[in-house]
Structure 1
Amino acid sequence: MISADRADRLRVAGLRWHPRSGDRFVIRRAGLDDEVYTISDMMIEPHQFSTGTVLGFNGTTEWALDSVAQEDALWLPGEDQLRELLGGTFRRLARSSEGYEVVIELAGRAQQVFTASAAADAYADALLALVGAAVDRQD
């Protein structure tokens, strides 16, 4: 699973979350940020309101929580979601002596390698570089 630090850096870089079943997240509040929650159509559902998205907790599983604003939740995208966001730049994932390597290729540039102990973190680092490259091109 992606680290909360990398997830926070992705959010700051502009990654937007559209909650769907199976997504994992943490709640950025004291005492709650060590728990990872999973959206499930049966337990935690996103509800769209004119004021924003609210993640509603159904049933008795999380009896102390009724709902939480999406802004208070930090999305922890999975490997498949990160790979999808990399799109056509993604070349491969491989094991390395340090853990995992993700290789991407930006148009007109050499391949870039991102290494981390967890595959999801290597994907996240590659996505951060991709977002940074897109911002650089806009400047």
Structure 2
Amino acid sequence: MISQALARQLKEAGLVWRTSVHDFFAIPDRDLDGRIFVLSDMMVTMELLRGWPAMVFHGTSEWALDYLLTHEAVWLPTESQLREKLEEELTARNGRFQQLQRQGKAYSCEISLNGAAEQFTAVDPSEAYALALLKLLQTPMP
């Protein structure tokens, strides 16, 4: 999963989030730093019942935060979601995804744009994809 700082940069650069079940997100500026949330259609918790671990299904969950507008949250896209968004952005710009390659303890994402190859390296494949996507989002369309 990408860092919340990088996720904020993607949001500020214009990454559009079309919410879906199982998406991860963070809630900034609400004393919830470091907490990661997931969109779900049902609340399930782990509890001990008669001494045995059990998955307990709850119909509703109540807490101090009644609702949150999507623009107030920061989407934490998964590796596959980042790759999909990167490919969409490259297609719109007549670019191509070349490869994701492991280099020692890091990953390198290589893209081709206007005939020039660019590499983005990070310790996690998600971060490498996110860095490439961020570069594209910050570059004006030709």
CA deviation after TM superposition for structure 1 residue 30, in Å: 3.6
Please name the residue that 2:97 is paired with: 90
Q: For 1:64 and 1:34, how far apart are their aligned partners in 2?
A: 18
Q: Could you tell me whether the CA contact under 8 Å between 1:98 and 1:115 is conserved in 2?
A: no
Tell me the C-alpha RMSD between the 2 structures. Answer: 1.7
Q: Deviations over 1:76-119 (max 9, x none)?
A: 1111111111114222111112411111111x322111000111
Residue of structure 2 in register with 1:27 after alignment = 27
User: What is the number of residues matched between the two proteins?
Assistant: 120
Aligned to 1:59: 60
2:108 aligns with one of 92, 96, 101: 101
CA distance in 1, matches of 2:65, 2:125: 32
Give the superposition deviation at 1:136.
5.5
Note the residue ranges of structure 2 that are not aligned, 5 or more in a row: 44-58
TM-score (norm 2): 0.76
Q: What CA distance in whole angstroms lies between the structure 1 residues aligned with 2:115 and 2:4?
A: 30
Q: Distance in 2 between matches of 1:83 and 1:33?
A: 26
> Residue 131 of structure 1: CA displacement?
1.7
Aligned residue number for residue 41 of structure 1:
41
Question: Distance in 2 between the 1:126 and 1:103 partners?
Answer: 8
**Counterpart of 1:37 in structure 2: which amino acid?**
F
Aligned sequence identity (%): 42
Cα deviations by residue, 1:32-59 (Å, 9 ceiling, x for unpaired): 121100111224xxxxxxxxxxxxxx72
